Amino acid sequence: MIAAFALLLAFQTTVPNADAPRADDIVVRDMRKLEEWRGVLVFQRDTPDCRVVTSANDKDLDAIGCASMVQCFVTTKPRFLALNDRKLSARARRQQRVAATRDMDACFKTTRMAMVQDLTRRREAAAAAAPAG
């Protein structure tokens, strides 16, 4: 009887809480919050800074939205500046603008996903390290 109780107790301590959200679920939830997030770039002497227009109601997600916006802008800025070349035909300019915009959107998605996954890992580690109480 005692052995059965010990086995049951050991089983209960190793089985994750079914009610606790999984990391994948948290990432998906946070990515959805970022879909509603809006920010604008503000420039000080050609240096971009971000201002939150519509918050994700989570300061860390707001920071991710801004960091990814600044990072992706800096990465794709040369491509957008190249659109000012007067030698480009209207058609070539349009094609390059579409391609640069597509690449910037892809940058947002991948950068935000990586940042949200990192945030989830950090929050899980902090929760695991916190004393139970």
Whole-prediction pTM: 0.73
Residue 20 half-sphere exposure, CB side, CA atoms within 13 Å?
A: 8
What does the pLDDT read at residue 21?
A: 61
Most confident among 30-34, 72-76, 127-131 (mean pLDDT): 72-76
Q: Decide: 69 and 43 in contact? Cβ < 8 Å.
A: no
Cα 75 from chain centre: 17
Domain residue ranges of the chain, discontinuous segments joined by + = 21-126
| pLDDT of 3 strictly over 70 | no
